[in-house]
C-alpha cells in the first residue's frame, strides 16, 4: 500500500512539472528535442517510483535516425512510460480523446503533438490517420501504437485494430513489433495496487511496408501480431 501511495504522489508531482514544461516548450516548438528530455524525466521518474526495472532486447534492430511505427501489445497503464523511456528518438503516441480532457495533462499532450484518436467517429478517425502520416513525413518523428486499443487484463493478445497499420502503409515506414511481457502485473486492470518487478521488452526486426496498399493491411496485421506473440514471455515478471 505504501508503494502505491508513493507512486500516485510521484505521478502527480512529475506530471505537473513535465506537463507545465511541455506546454511552455510546445508553444515554441512541439517537436523540440527538449520534449524528448522532458518525456524521459517523466517516464523514468514514474517507473523508478513504482520499482519497475526493464530487461530490454533488440534495441539494435532499428536506426534511431530513421522513422518507424512501433506496434506493441497493451497490458498496463505502464506500457506508455515503459516504451517512451526506452526509445532513443522523438516519438508520438496515438492517444485516446478522453485523455485530452484531463486538466494540465491534456493540455500538455496537445501542446507536444500527441495524436488524438476518436474511434466512435469514422470521419475523425480517417482525419487522425492522415494527421499521423503528415506528422511522420513533415516532422520526421516515429509513432507508437497499441493496436489492441485497450489493456489486456491477463496479458493475452486481443484483436488488433487497423488504423495504425494503415498509417504505416500510407507513410511507407517500417513497423517495429514490440513485445511487452509482465507489465500487467505491475498494475492489474481494475485495481490500484502497484507491484514492483522486472518487465521484459523485445523489439523485433523492422517489417517493411514500402509498396504495400490498403489491400495488404490484413496480412501486415497478422505478420506483426505473429512477431509480437513469438517474443512474448507469459511467465515473465520478477519481484
**Quick check: is 236 in a domain?**
no
> Do 145 and 69 touch, CB atoms closer than 8 A?
yes
Range(s) of the domain holding residue 142 = 2-230
**Quick check: is 237 in a domain?**
no
**Quick check: is 185 in a domain?**
yes
**Quick check: is 226 in a domain?**
yes
What pLDDT score does 139 carry? 83
How many other C-beta atoms are found inside a 10 Å radius of the C-beta of residue 152? Answer: 16
**Quick check: is 9 in a domain?**
yes
**Quick check: is 188 in a domain?**
yes
**Rounded Cα distance, 187 and 123, in Å:** 34
**Quick check: is 102 in a domain?**
yes
Residue-wise pLDDT for 205-229, tens only, equals: 999 999 898 899 999 999 999 999 9
- The number of distinct structural domains making up the chain is 1
The number of helix segments (H) and strand segments (E) in the chain equals 7, 7
What pLDDT score does 52 carry? 94
What pLDDT score does 237 carry? 58
**Quick check: is 238 in a domain?**
no
What pLDDT score does 236 carry? 65
pTM: 0.91
CA proximity to 232, closest of 183, 174, 162: 183
Residue-wise pLDDT for 171-214, tens only, equals: 899 999 999 998 888 887 777 788 898 999 999 999 999 989 88
163-171 and 217-230 helices cross at what angle (nearest 10)?
110
Q: What is the CA radius of gyration of the chain?
A: 17
What pLDDT score does 51 carry? 94
- DSSP secondary-structure letter at 60? G
> Which residue is listed with cell 478517425?
125
CA proximity to 47, closest of 21, 17, 83: 83
What pLDDT score does 134 carry? 82
238, β-bridge pairs: 198
Domain of 131, CATH number, reads 3.40.1130.10
CA proximity to 151, closest of 72, 69, 48: 72
Q: How would you write the pLDDT of the chain (239 residues) with one tens digit per residue? A: 788 899 999 999 999 999 999 999 999 999 999 999 999 999 999 999 999 999 999 999 999 999 999 999 998 889 999 999 999 998 998 888 888 999 999 999 999 989 888 777 667 777 777 878 888 888 888 999 999 877 766 667 888 888 889 889 998 999 999 999 988 888 877 777 888 989 999 999 999 999 898 899 999 999 999 999 999 987 665 55
**Rounded Cα distance, 177 and 72, in Å:** 6
What pLDDT score does 144 carry? 93
Amino acid at each position: 500500500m505504501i508503494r502505491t501511495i508513493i507512486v500516485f504522489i510521484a505521478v502527480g508531482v512529475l506530471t505537473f512539472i513535465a506537463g507545465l514544461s511541455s506546454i511552455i516548450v510546445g508553444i515554441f516548438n512541439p517537436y523540440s528535442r527538449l520534449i524528448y528530455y522532458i518525456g524521459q524525466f517523466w517516464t523514468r521518474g514514474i517507473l523508478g517510483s513504482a520499482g519497475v526495472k526493464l530487461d530490454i532486447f533488440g534495441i539494435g534492430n532499428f536506426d534511431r535516425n530513421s522513422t518507424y511505427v512501433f506496434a506493441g501489445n497493451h497490458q498496463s497503464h505502464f506500457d506508455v512510460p515503459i516504451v517512451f523511456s526506452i526509445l532513443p528518438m522523438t516519438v508520438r503516441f496515438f492517444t485516446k480523446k478522453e485523455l485530452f480532457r484531463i486538466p494540465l495533462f491534456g493540455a500538455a499532450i496537445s501542446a507536444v503533438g500527441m495524436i488524438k484518436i476518436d474511434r466512435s467517429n469514422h470521419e475523425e478517425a480517417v482525419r487522425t490517420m492522415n494527421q499521423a502520416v503528415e506528422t511522420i513525413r513533415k516532422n520526421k518523428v516515429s509513432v507508437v501504437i497499441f493496436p489492441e486499443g485497450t489493456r489486456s487484463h491477463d496479458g493475452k493478445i486481443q484483436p488488433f485494430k487497423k488504423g495504425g497499420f494503415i498509417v504505416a502503409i500510407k507513410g511507407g515506414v517500417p513497423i517495429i513489433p514490440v513485445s511487452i511481457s509482465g507489465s500487467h502485473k505491475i498494475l492489474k486492470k481494475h485495481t490500484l495496487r502497484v507491484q514492483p518487478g522486472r518487465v521484459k521488452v523485445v523489439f523485433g526486426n523492422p517489417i517493411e511496408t514500402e509498396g504495400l496498399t490498403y489491400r495488404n493491411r490484413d496480412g501486415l496485421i497478422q505478420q506483426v501480431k505473429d512477431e509480437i506473440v513469438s517474443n512474448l514471455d507469459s511467465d515473465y515478471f520478477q519481484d
